[in-house]
Structure 1
């Protein structure tokens, strides 16, 4: 079933709710002479003409709006259905936008029997670029992941915003707001680009008006508003435009599974099934006993398990991720449409280069197929990566588009996250190398690529905002950290690196603690004694790692071998692992020597690489070596060698 049909099912199901149908063909045009904003909330707040899907559903929230009869007089726009909710303060309007509908403004007039009309001016915009020009991230990219609150505070004036539940900043508290903002990212794009990154993924920056601990951004209380402590929509657009001007991409972190407990609709839920376990919540919310009545588990394998019980699947899909994050019910057709339209709205608004979808296996998986299918139908060159926190390649592969699943499931998801290789790399480098058992984990982990539809489209990483820093996991070993990062950047994947990894940020004081993992980036705050942006105050090891990553990333920018090349690797022997990537005119060889002593590597075993007698260049030191009989390797080291055929005129 294609994505357009799936979207049609979502809209069609909504007709089963309380529906009053109005005339489908309204062709007279009401001229807008004055902008009216009588309604508290209309979402999406505006839309665009020119989508393949010509339907639009507006959520309207206003006291007693359910008693109104809406009218639109604008050529090409017709109301096909009006849906009343169980709360009298909502209406859902199904609109159809004809093929020839022009951008412009029109009034939605809400007529009442016993009170004056309310009028809301709505805007249809022209799309800023063609659908094909929304190009997503791919294996040619390297992604820089940032926790915005902890990166750079460019505008201290927005640290405290009147009216929000959590006030002030406290940099001594790892779970309080620290003041980083969108402008702080934009002002340091020179640094990020100079390192060699081609895409930026900030953790969510939408409003999280929660009493505490919401600096991370994953407890959204408004899906259409930028959190004012991070800045404004204009600041978000400025970041997107600055990246675009550098031919870099902005990836938006989105959440379809849950919202924050203080989301505006939790005070007035439109339907009895807007969130999962809603009856339990509403019955007990006054005394907080509802927390004990909302059963949940994290058995994500119930999505694939042919033997999974219905109760296990229900508790995983419908249970709340945590007690402060209500689980959204995507089986409600209005909620489903709301989430899909919200994602499309942000793609258009920011000109996104991709979406990262949080907690991917937790929402209703049929809906997630509809969601991803709707996006990819509108943007055929786009990219979406889903977070599947699993160390099992079978589960990672299940979610990727084109995978032949025995249950027939099609995800339309271009990428998934490679937690399996993250674990393999860390364990391989930490284990004793007797009988090559350490490096074999990396080798066999990559050998599992036979299970993936498109290995190069999977996103690989060593640390992120939820996992302990790689430098911590490798016990503060600089050379092993280099091995891990150089392998990450040469293997066939889309690499993602967490901010601060380039300067060996750690969480030694409490490994795995989320607040500590998301430590402030030095130099991002006025008065910081260490400034990683300029190098001031960094240790020798930090500067060494920063330069090491910069050299590999910038080489990777122009290396077709590392971006798209065929992969060939050789089973580790005597603590040495060799991996090669090659295209017609370029071969890159990555070699890890895990031994505590220098080694002479016999090269006859690698004859099939076709490098005999060729001169290769070390991309870090720029030294040249001839690939002959043996290669001298330093103790505990990794080396990346490049051979390129000289271009002829």
Structure 2
């Protein structure tokens, strides 16, 4: 009986082994799918994922390409191939041979030629104004991709947290509207795959870092969108996330190593504290620091461990891939203080080393000037941290503007808050590179924040578009769209006219009411003027202490000067200009670019209640 049992096991083993060797070698993922010759960094890491691929022997033979290392990891279904690509390597198909037992499989890995076009990868600067769009909520240009087989969520426009069907085609259809408004760059909330079971519309729970969400379009359609935008004179900023992925990401179903995700084996992983000031706090405990940086953002968004060298390289290469593949001009990095900060410095440096004109802005949601400045390139703190991030989001600016416009002017209230805020700019290495805004996809809409007062609205817009920094407008701000930021879908409403059958089409003047057209025209007039004003892009700023809630500042160069007057009071002011003689100097005349009025005498200026003047000074 024992002999029969042993023989049975023997035959089962033989059959199983024969079957295993008879199976074909298959690859589920090869990432990045292709790369380029001519990159400054000659090193390339290729993630290979497939059943049992970890036991494969790997070889390649291609002139100028060397397989310098093969790394096996905990999961038997992965290999990490390290390649060295010499400067003399030419574009082509690199045959990578995988051998398991007697079976072999050759994967033709493509090397492309790096683009030399001067119209790609332009970066962004204070000469630009960014227009932020949530793709799912702007316009549905292709109803055929509303529901995709194999993806959890289809389109349910009646559900605030559901997908509404906006897509890349819809945005492309309205590039003329965006261009005519006067902005110079488009920032899209994430367009990469979010195949989550619920609430996937916002894009921040990515389930494939190399694939555009098919409900928005294809990778090829995204490249076409970028090219169309460039042809329209518009830059494109891509929203990326290095802090977390979606719980449905294919990696989560078979992690290469357990430590790719913090607390990956925990039944209830630790959630972050959201205390974004902790990484810069010189007195922070390790407990608080770990909870902030290693905790999951929400239960559906696992926290990435960027200290794992393979995942770190994977993330850096992923952004480089999108830059070169799509020709994007910049990146907005979500939740910038949450990941490992040393990794983020390496990440930012790697992107700028490969693309010196490239710019990236980090979302640092911190209502503190020094804690925001900590993340900007050039800041020197006491902990020795060397950040490489060129641009930061200026949340202190946002919060101060809202508060200043809501208050009566006094010693330390009203518009004097703007003066005191900008007086702290000595902390920033480069305050002109701060991205400034009045609202975004997470915040209460600006129009609602200032009590739906269109005069205050125009004051805020004037400040945004004439002070230092890189302005960002949120889609629909020009239409006075409002919504409470405590309920996210409320500030992410559909753009009226973006869907077939919409009763109102706000893409046209006829589809907007009088107040909307007043707001739109105010923004457009300032934007059209701003595009050509180097004095606003690169000029210095000098401001004067507000009196009677009237704030005066100048943007100036050696030859040009613009005087901006914001009257935040409810009374008309006859403003004597005597105390501004330092900047008025020999300027005797002016033209208000908002009203078109010409001033031949600058001794006294009449400024109506709750209005602004933007004066081009003339000698």
Same fold (TM over 0.5): yes
Asked if residue 345 in structure 1 is aligned to residue 321 in structure 2, the reply is yes
Q: Partner residue of 1:440?
A: 416
Q: Partner residue of 1:358?
A: 334
Asked if residue 60 in structure 1 is aligned to residue 55 in structure 2, the reply is no
Query: Which shifted more, 613-622 or 522-531?
Result: 613-622
8 Å CA contact 1:615, 1:624 repeated in 2: yes
* Structure-2 separation of matches of 1:242 and 1:490: 29
Q: CA offset at residue 613 of structure 1?
A: 5.8
Asked if residue 540 in structure 1 is aligned to residue 527 in structure 2, the reply is no
* Structure-1 separation of matches of 2:474 and 2:447: 12
Q: CA offset at residue 295 of structure 1?
A: 4.4
Q: Partner residue of 1:3?
A: none
Return 5+ residue gaps in structure 2 as ranges: 1-23
Q: Partner residue of 2:492?
A: 518
Select the residue among 144, 149, 165 that pairs with 2:152.
Answer: 165
* Structure-2 separation of matches of 1:276 and 1:403: 29
* Structure-2 separation of matches of 1:526 and 1:573: 51
Cα 1:45/1:613, change in 2 over 3 Å? closer
Q: Partner residue of 2:10?
A: none
Select the residue among 243, 246, 250 that pairs with 1:257.
Answer: 243
* Structure-1 separation of matches of 2:386 and 2:564: 35
Q: Partner residue of 1:598?
A: 572
8 Å CA contact 1:41, 1:60 repeated in 2: yes
Select the residue among 534, 541, 566 that pairs with 1:567.
Answer: 541
Select the residue among 373, 378, 382 that pairs with 1:402.
Answer: 378
TM-score of the superposed pair, with normalisation by structure 1:
0.90
What does 1:443-454 align with in structure 2 at a 5 Å threshold? 443-454=419-430
Cα 1:270/1:635, change in 2 over 3 Å? same
* Structure-1 separation of matches of 2:233 and 2:139: 22
Q: Partner residue of 2:8?
A: none
* Structure-2 separation of matches of 1:245 and 1:461: 26
SS of alignment partner, residue 96 of structure 1: strand
Q: CA offset at residue 576 of structure 1?
A: 0.6
8 Å CA contact 1:399, 1:411 repeated in 2: yes
Q: CA offset at residue 85 of structure 1?
A: 1.3
Asked if residue 174 in structure 1 is aligned to residue 160 in structure 2, the reply is yes
Q: CA offset at residue 304 of structure 1?
A: 1.3
Q: CA offset at residue 130 of structure 1?
A: 6.3
Q: Partner residue of 1:630?
A: 604
Select the residue among 311, 330, 336 that pairs with 2:287.
Answer: 311
SS of alignment partner, residue 531 of structure 2: helix
Query: Which shifted more, 619-628 or 516-525?
Result: 619-628
8 Å CA contact 2:575, 2:607 repeated in 1: yes
Q: CA offset at residue 172 of structure 1?
A: 2.1
Asked if residue 196 in structure 1 is aligned to residue 188 in structure 2, the reply is no
8 Å CA contact 2:26, 2:50 repeated in 1: no
Q: Partner residue of 1:92?
A: 80
Asked if residue 557 in structure 1 is aligned to residue 531 in structure 2, the reply is yes
Q: Partner residue of 2:391?
A: 415
Asked if residue 479 in structure 1 is aligned to residue 455 in structure 2, the reply is yes
What does 1:52-451 align with in structure 2 at a 5 Å threshold? 52-114=40-102, 116-129=103-116, 134-167=121-154, 169-280=155-266, 290-291=267-268, 293-435=269-411, 437-451=413-427
Q: CA offset at residue 239 of structure 1?
A: 1.2
TM-score of the superposed pair, with normalisation by structure 2:
0.94
* Structure-1 separation of matches of 2:77 and 2:536: 55
Q: CA offset at residue 437 of structure 1?
A: 1.8
Query: Which shifted more, 349-358 or 610-619?
Result: 610-619
CA deviations 1:588-637 (Å, max 9, x no partner) are 11111122121111111111122566221111221111243211111111
Q: CA offset at residue 206 of structure 1?
A: 0.4
* Structure-1 separation of matches of 2:32 and 2:296: 26
* Structure-2 separation of matches of 1:208 and 1:133: 27
- Over the aligned positions, Cα root-mean-square deviation in angstroms equals 1.6
Cα 1:103/1:534, change in 2 over 3 Å? same
8 Å CA contact 2:576, 2:604 repeated in 1: yes
8 Å CA contact 2:435, 2:472 repeated in 1: yes
CA deviations 1:526-570 (Å, max 9, x no partner) are 111211111233110100100110000110000111111111111
* Structure-2 separation of matches of 1:162 and 1:278: 29
* Structure-2 separation of matches of 1:212 and 1:392: 34
* Structure-1 separation of matches of 2:362 and 2:446: 21
Q: CA offset at residue 644 of structure 1?
A: 5.0
Cα 1:133/1:517, change in 2 over 3 Å? closer
* Structure-2 separation of matches of 1:176 and 1:133: 35
Q: Partner residue of 1:607?
A: 581
SS of alignment partner, residue 258 of structure 2: coil
Q: CA offset at residue 131 of structure 1?
A: 8.9
* Structure-1 separation of matches of 2:65 and 2:586: 69
Return 5+ residue gaps in structure 1 as ranges: 1-35, 281-289
* Structure-2 separation of matches of 1:387 and 1:479: 29
